[in-house]
Amino acid sequence: MSTSTAIVLVQADRRFLGDLGERLADLEGVAEAYSVTGDWDFVAIVRLSRPEDLARVVTTGIAREEGVERTQTLMAFEAFSKHDLDAFFDVGG
């Protein structure tokens, strides 16, 4: 079964920075949440078995969390990971 992945960028009200990351990570469909620097405060990695569930996860989950001011969702087409490539080419050495 394939999995769809989306990256959701989150801008937050500063008053909620202390606990919002943990609350995002606890949401159904959110595999990981990171606090980050720059224009966005958090990045949520969403992994779903059904891509049509993305709208629900973002609009009724992430966007409705107290402290979330704005989101931007990026749908991943293809994944590239040095870690995965290293494991693939490792022949037990």
What confidence score (pLDDT) does residue 91 get?
Answer: 61
Give the span between the Cα atoms of 38 and 41, in whole angstroms: 7
* pLDDT (mean) for 66-87: 84
Segments forming the whole domain that contains residue 73: 4-89
- Phi, psi of 47, rounded to the nearest 5 degrees: -125, 125
Give the span between the Cα atoms of 10 and 62, in whole angstroms: 9
Give the span between the Cα atoms of 54 and 27, in whole angstroms: 12
Strand-pair partners of 33: 44
Q: What is the pLDDT of residues 8-56, one digit of tens each?
A: 999 999 999 999 999 999 999 999 999 999 999 999 999 999 888 999 9
Say which CATH number the domain at 20 has: 3.30.70.920
DSSP-assigned letter for residue 39: S
Q: How many domains does the chain have?
A: 1
Q: What is the pLDDT of residues 30-43, one digit of tens each?
A: 999 999 999 999 99
What confidence score (pLDDT) does residue 78 get?
Answer: 86
Place of tokens 């202390």: 18
* pLDDT (mean) for 43-70: 95
